């Protein structure tokens, strides 16, 4: 039976990425060695790192004065690296979910954190509006897409202090103006590569201005100077990321991907809104185009287990909602074909007709 992978992360990757990475694990660049055992200092792997960096800049139209890094430690390590490198006395954060809260917790260890707004009062089912960002903050931090709750910030903020964004789960899904950001970062395992590599886009001129002594591995300048090779990088995930970047380039780039993502999301949200068995859990204007969250409608909760089992029997994988929300979650990242979303929508229709 065909499987449809709706896991939130680690998640679906392009077949192009999986096939090419698997081949390189057996024989990398004709060396007769596995990608898993090649020296990261070899000319073959240095070429991979260089090409991945160049494609990253090309696809996102990253302006001069920014560095692209491929690091270990996941986005969770960035929660600490960012205040280490940018925070002098005070920062500002927008609390839109579990990952925001973790980032806030790390920043609070360094100094004052102004949480300008939070949507926790409604279990993070909306993006806060009409809040004030303090002008004296060293930076303002946002999480653009919230995998657990299914909300997304879809526009680039225009503010007067450095803007930092965790884009772990929506990078490359829509166009963005990198020049409006000080740092963009994220774990790769939702839209780019297997877990193990973290991307960071950082504006160089903002570094070196804090008074604290930064641990070597937590100093962005360390990794910029050594072009992401101060220590051994996660070679397999970096190589896989390169394949995904090539796949994105070969398929029309970010603009084309955005059109496809909107089409997929509209198809699924329209069925949720049309089908009386289901109801969305997020304010409509804040719905994510990456993670679609919904529950059984009032009075139909008794069908939740039955629908899960029915959908699973049809090959739908990874659709159970996060324990803090319940219900269902379909993650429809870049690599998810439109046909897979069509298949899931058909399952929703078939279940309605079945009961």
Residues tagged active-site: 99, 166, 190
- Phi/psi for 96 (5° steps) reads -120, 10
DSSP letters spanning 148-194 = TTTEE--S----SS-EEEE-TTTTTSS---GGG-SEEEEESTTTTSS
- C-alpha to C-alpha distance for 313 and 232, rounded to whole angstroms: 43
CB atoms within 10 A of CB 236: 20
Walk across the sheet containing 163-166 and list its strands.
66-71, 198-203, 183-187, 163-166, 140-143, 90-95, 112-118
Reduce the DSSP state of residue 228 to 3 states and report it. Answer: coil
Bond prior to 73 in cis (omega within 30° of 0): no
Q: Are 328 and 321 in contact (CB under 8 A)?
A: yes
């Amino acid at each position: 039976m065909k499987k449809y992978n709706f896991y939130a992360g680690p998640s679906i990757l392009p077949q192009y990425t999986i096939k090419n990475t698997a081949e390189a694990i057996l024989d990398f660049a004709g060396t007769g060695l596995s990608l898993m055992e090649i020296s990261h200092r070899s000319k073959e792997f240095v070429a991979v790192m260089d090409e991945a960096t160049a494609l990253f800049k090309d696809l996102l139209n990253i302006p001069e004065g920014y560095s692209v890094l491929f690091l270990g430690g996941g986005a969770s390590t960035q929660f600490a690296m960012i205040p280490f490198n940018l925070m002098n006395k005070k920062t500002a954060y927008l609390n839109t979910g579990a990952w925001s809260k973790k980032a806030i917790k790390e920043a609070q260890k360094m100094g004052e954190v102004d949480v300008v707004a939070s949507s926790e009062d409604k279990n993070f089912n909306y993006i806060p509006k009409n809040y004030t960002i303090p002008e004296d903050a060293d930076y303002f931090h946002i999480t653009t897409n919230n995998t657990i709750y299914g909300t997304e910030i879809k526009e680039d903020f225009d503010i007067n202090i450095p803007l930092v964004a965790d884009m772990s789960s929506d990078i490359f899904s829509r166009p963005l103006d990198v020049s409006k950001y000080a740092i963009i970062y994220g774990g790769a395992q939702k839209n780019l590569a297997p877990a193990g590599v973290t991307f960071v886009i950082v504006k160089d001129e903002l570094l070196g201005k804090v008074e604290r002594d930064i641990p070597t591995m937590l100093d962005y300048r360390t990794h910029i100077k050594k072009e992401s090779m101060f220590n051994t990088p996660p070679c397999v995930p970096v190589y896989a990321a390169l394949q995904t970047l090539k796949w994105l380039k070969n398929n029309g780039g970010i603009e084309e991907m955005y059109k496809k993502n909107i089409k997929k999301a509209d198809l699924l949200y329209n069925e949720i809104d049309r089908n009386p068995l289901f109801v969305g859990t997020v304010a409509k204007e804040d719905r994510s185009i990456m993670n679609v969250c919904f529950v059984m409608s009032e009075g139909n909760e008794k069908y939740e287990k039955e629908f899960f089992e029915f959908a699973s029997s049809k090959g739908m994988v990874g659709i159970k909602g996060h324990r803090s929300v319940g219900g269902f979650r379909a993650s429809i990242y870049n690599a998810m074909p439109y046909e897979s979303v069509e298949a899931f929508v058909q399952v929703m229709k078939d279940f309605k007709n079945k009961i």
